[in-house]
Amino acid sequence: MSGTGLKGYPCSMGGKVAKVGYINGPVSYVGGVTGGLPILDTAFRSLDYVSAGITRSGLYQVEAQPITIGNGKQWRLRFFNTTTAGTGLGAEPANGANLSAEIVQFLIIGG
């Protein structure tokens, strides 16, 4: 996932770069600590911090999870229900769920 950058991004902050953009969810979601939507942005040598929010529809809270701690390049976005429908409040969607219509804005800070 590299997502679509917003106008004016990326921008530099000293030796770091910030990117604000948006991305669609996956066609076939895989949940759990090894699932989620991998973040793959070749514009960065390292991903220091990643953040996301609630999808535009309001149905999912999207959390960024580091796979490695420190200046790694491995993060993933995990989706959690904001309603009691489907798998329940706070649960991840069922494996195979099509989240491609869901759009979330994100922030990446890296080098």
Q: Which domains does the chain have, with CATH numbers?
A: 4-110 (2.60.40)
Query: What would the mean pLDDT of 18-26 be, rounded to a whole number?
Result: 90
Tens digit of each residue's pLDDT (9 = 90 or more) over 92-101: 999 999 999 9
Tens digit of each residue's pLDDT (9 = 90 or more) over 49-74: 899 999 999 999 999 998 877 767 78
Q: Which pTM value belongs to this model?
A: 0.85
**Start-to-end CA span in the chain (Å):** 17
Residues 6+ apart with CB under 8 A from 23: 1, 3, 4, 37, 77, 103, 104, 106
Q: 46 vs 8, 88, 104, CA distance in Å?
A: 20, 35, 22
